[in-house]
């Protein structure tokens, strides 16, 4: 047997998948911008993604903020630079932790649910039934979810920013005995609009990735319950990896010039 | 007599899954306003045939026209134009399980006609009563229904928008004989009263005789016999003869080992 054969086959499979994702994304985007719009359905998904994810995202953010404050204290105390803690918490939460952790949590919560729901609809012929009822599945199933993801993730991340900084404040003031007013002043002085905006832009991209991967894997799932399970796993794994990849790329774009 | 108008024309349609050929240079004409029933053994490709017409599956070769519009290998615009005329009952009903039964049926109305939600619901309730589903069922979800009830709800959804073409994939399977006959009457009614063209798949010969103007039989990827319903008993075709009498010995090879 030719030893390059499996490698070639893998490469072809990869390119095939990549092509399908590109086509799927193009179709999804074209349906997002063209009417008719299903406003009620968009609203329902916004509620599901935005509102019902708040507890999970809030808990994640508060612990992230707390642990950053603790960790940077142990580090900075060696250089007598404890004053920089508020700064470090604010920067790392708004630029990195809030968007990435929110993206990952939402991919587990929403990406998986989307893949399971559309996947079940696919294997029980409900997606086919939609087309026969003169309703485009991209318009009805995919576009509203992606729109809701792209708009709701920034909102969630904004909330996570506030709660994360609050977590740092709690540890800083009640455990490390900082002066509350000084801590807040430090946070306020150091944080810039770019820190927050870059985090929100990342969030929107992550919302796109999570919902797109959920829809894509659900849409192409096949083979009954097992296939749906596989689609769910693939949706979460691929979304998580893409989030980390795009986080790196976007950080590069935003902060390459002014570190 | 003039040539009857052809609503759906399938010519040399070939559909395979991998190496397995399901439809093999398949030809079929469905005349306008007729009720054609397709019979054939389990797994011969009856559902695949319907899905090819609807554009859910794409045949490898051949031509399928609906009202003169080519749909095999066509773009989404052609499929949308054809789907707008078609009401389809899926073999597994394929009800949307995030919606109630009434919403399912009303969806079919609002997707095609500019009517208010209230009127769509009224139409839905009327269609549900036509398939023998009580009002109390209307606000249940599909998971709360029995198999036969789902089938009837699917039927109500298929006929809700009064489409000119009706596809029924095994409409009476899973129903008791009395309910089966109500559904048979309903299909006859749809064809006779509204002038719709109906293409029905069934294994149920009683139902086939009752609703069909013509009957066609599929075997090994082709139509092996087609003729008026009255002629089926005198059909000099051993395949048809074996099928309608349900004999295990004959030219149809059953893939079972004894
Ligand atoms: N999506 C698919 N992928 C692969 N094979 C398929 C697919 N759909 C159908 N088949 C195969 O095509 C053949 C015909 O299937 P089809 O569903 O049309 O049968 P049928 O005539 O409707 O049978 P039944 O009366 O049992 O419903 C079967 O052998 C099935 O295995
Ligand atoms: Mg079938």
Going along chain B from its start, the domains and CATH numbers come out as 1-85+165-175+197-258 (3.40.50.300), 91-162 (no CATH)
For chain A, give the mean pLDDT. 92
Residue B189 is predicted with a pLDDT of: 87
Asked which of A50-64, A70-84, A212-226, B147-161 is least confident by mean pLDDT, the reply is A70-84
B79 in reach of chain A (CB within 8 A)? yes
Parse chain A into domains and list their residue ranges. 37-254
Q: Rounded to the nearest 10 degrees, what angle do helices A112-123 and A224-255 cross at?
A: 140
Nearest CA to ligand 1 atom 20: B43
Cβ-Cβ contacts under 8 Å, A135 against chain B: 107, 111
Mean pLDDT of B150-157: 93
Contact state of B94 with A129 under an 8 Å Cβ cutoff: yes
What is this structure's pTM?
Answer: 0.90
pLDDT band at A14 (very low <50, low <70, confident <90, very high): confident
Contact state of B111 with A129 under an 8 Å Cβ cutoff: no
Nearest CA to ligand 1 atom 17: B47
Residue A122 above 80 pLDDT?
yes
Contacts of A211 (CB under 8 A, 6+ apart): A49, A110, A111, A114, A145, A146, A148, A149, A150
Residue B229 above 70 pLDDT?
yes
Q: Looking at per-residue confidence, does A82 or A233 come out higher? A: A233
The string of pLDDT tens digits covering residues A95-116 is 999 999 999 999 999 999 999 9
- Residues B26 and B14: their CA atoms lie apart, in Å, by 6
For chain B, give the mean pLDDT. 90
Distance A126 CA to ligand 1 centre (A): 17
Residue A150 is predicted with a pLDDT of: 96
pLDDT band at A37 (very low <50, low <70, confident <90, very high): confident
Residue A1 is predicted with a pLDDT of: 67
Mutate to test the pocket of ligand 1, among B28, B38, B48 (most ligand atoms within 8 A of CB): B48
Cβ-Cβ contacts under 8 Å, B98 against chain A: 117
Interface test with B, best of A129, A138, A228 (most B CBs within 10 A): A129
Contact state of B88 with A126 under an 8 Å Cβ cutoff: no
Contacts of A29 (CB under 8 A, 6+ apart): none
- Specify the ligand 1 atom closest to the Cα of B218: 21
Residue A13 is predicted with a pLDDT of: 86
B220: phi then psi, degrees, rounded to nearest 5: 50, 50
User: If DSSP states are collapsed to H, E and C, what string results for B216-249?
Assistant: EEEECCEEEEEEEHHHHHHCCCHHHHHHHHCCCC
Residue A118 above 90 pLDDT?
yes
Residue B2 is predicted with a pLDDT of: 66
Residue B186 is predicted with a pLDDT of: 86
- To the nearest whole Å, the CA of A158 is away from the closest chain B CA by 31
- To the nearest whole Å, the CA of B88 is away from the closest chain A CA by 7
Instruction: Quote ipTM for the complex.
Output: 0.90
Which of B218, B215, B192, B191 lies closest to B205, judged by CA?
B215
CA atoms in the 13 A half-sphere facing the CB of A24: 22
A85 with A76: CB under 8 angstroms?
A: yes
Distance A121 CA to ligand 1 centre (A): 18
The string of pLDDT tens digits covering residues B68-125 is 999 988 888 888 889 999 999 999 999 999 999 999 999 999 998 889 999 999 999 9
Residue B256 above 70 pLDDT?
no
pLDDT band at A189 (very low <50, low <70, confident <90, very high): confident
Residue A75 is predicted with a pLDDT of: 80
Alpha carbon distances (Å) from B255 to B42, B43, B114: 11, 11, 50
Contact state of A131 with B56 under an 8 Å Cβ cutoff: yes
B83 in reach of chain A (CB within 8 A)? yes
Residue A214 is predicted with a pLDDT of: 97
Residue B257 is predicted with a pLDDT of: 58
Mean pLDDT of B163-179: 91
B residues 27-56 closer than 8 Å to A (CB): 51, 54-56
Contact state of A128 with B90 under an 8 Å Cβ cutoff: yes
Which of B61, B161, B73, B66 lies closest to B120, judged by CA?
B161
Mean pLDDT of B224-234: 90
Residue A215 is predicted with a pLDDT of: 97
Residue B246 above 90 pLDDT?
no
The string of pLDDT tens digits covering residues B19-47 is 999 999 999 999 999 999 999 988 899 99
Cβ-Cβ contacts under 8 Å, B97 against chain A: 120, 124, 126
- Residues A92 and A161: their CA atoms lie apart, in Å, by 10
A154 with A207: CB under 8 angstroms?
A: yes
Alpha carbon distances (Å) from B98 to A120, A143, B140: 11, 18, 11
Residue A258 is predicted with a pLDDT of: 60
In the three-class reduction of DSSP (H, G, I as helix; E, B as strand; rest coil), residue A48 is classed as helix
Residue A82 above 80 pLDDT?
no
Residue B60 is predicted with a pLDDT of: 93
Ligand nearest to C-alpha B204:
1
Mean pLDDT of A192-214: 95
Mean pLDDT of A218-228: 92
- Residues A234 and A19: their CA atoms lie apart, in Å, by 17
Residue A4 above 90 pLDDT?
no
Nearest CA to ligand 1 atom 25: B42
């Amino acid at each position: 047997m030719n030893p390059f054969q499996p490698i070639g086959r893998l490469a072809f499979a990869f390119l095939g998948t990549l092509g399908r994702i590109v086509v799927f994304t193009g179709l999804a985007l074209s349906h997002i911008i063209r009417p008719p719009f299903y406003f009620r359905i968009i609203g329902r998904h916004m509620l599901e993604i935005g509102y019902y994810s708040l507890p999970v995202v809030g808990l994640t953010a508060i612990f992230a903020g707390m642990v950053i404050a603790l960790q940077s204290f142990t580090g900075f105390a060696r250089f007598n630079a404890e004053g920089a803690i508020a700064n470090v918490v604010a920067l790392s939460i708004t630029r990195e932790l809030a968007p990435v952790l929110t993206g990952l949590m939402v991919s587990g919560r929403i990406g998986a649910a989307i893949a399971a729901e559309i996947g079940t609809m696919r294997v029980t012929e409900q997606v086919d039934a939609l087309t026969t009822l003169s309703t485009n599945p991209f318009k009805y199933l995919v576009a509203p979810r992606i729109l809701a993801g792209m708009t709701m993730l920034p909102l969630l991340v904004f909330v996570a920013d506030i709660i994360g900084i609050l977590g740092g404040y709690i540890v800083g003031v009640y455990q490390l005995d900082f002066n509350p007013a000084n801590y807040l002043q430090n946070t306020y002085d150091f944080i810039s609009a770019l820190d927050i905006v870059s985090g929100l832009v990342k969030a929107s991209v992550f919302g796109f990735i999570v919902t797109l991967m959920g829809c894509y894997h659900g849409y192409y799932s096949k083979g009954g319950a097992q296939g749906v399970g596989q689609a769910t796993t693939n949706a979460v794994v691929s979304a998580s990896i893409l989030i980390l990849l795009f986080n790196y790329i976007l950080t590069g774009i935003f902060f390459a010039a002014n570190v | 007599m003039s040539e009857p108008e052809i609503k759906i024309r399938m010519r040399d349609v070939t559909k395979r899954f991998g190496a397995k050929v399901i439809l093999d240079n398949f030809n079929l004409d469905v005349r306008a306003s007729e009720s054609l029933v397709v019979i054939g053994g389990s797994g011969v490709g009856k559902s695949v045939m319907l899905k090819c017409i609807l554009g859910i599956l794409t045949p490898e070769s051949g031509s399928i026209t609906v009202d003169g519009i080519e749909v095999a290998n066509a773009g989404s615009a052609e499929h949308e134009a054809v789907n707008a005329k078609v009401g389809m009952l899926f073999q597994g009903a394929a009800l949307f399980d995030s919606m109630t039964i009434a919403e399912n049926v009303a969806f079919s109305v609002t997707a095609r006609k500019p009517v208010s939600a209230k009127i769509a619901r009224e139409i839905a309730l009327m269609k549900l009563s036509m398939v023998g589903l009580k009002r109390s069922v209307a606000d249940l979800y599909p998971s709360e229904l029995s198999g036969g009830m789902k089938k009837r709800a699917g039927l109500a959804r298929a006929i809700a928008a009064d489409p000119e073409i009706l596809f029924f994939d095994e409409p009476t399977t899973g129903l008791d004989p009395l309910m089966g006959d109500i559904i048979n009457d309903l299909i006859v009614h749809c064809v006779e009263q509204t002038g719709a063209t109906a293409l029905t798949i069934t294994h149920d010969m009683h139902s086939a005789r009752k609703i069909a103007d013509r009957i066609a039989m599929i075997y090994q990827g082709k139509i092996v016999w087609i003729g008026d319903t009255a002629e089926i008993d005198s059909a000099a075709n051993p395949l048809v003869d074996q099928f309608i009498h349900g004999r295990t010995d004959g030219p149809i090879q059953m893939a079972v080992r004894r």
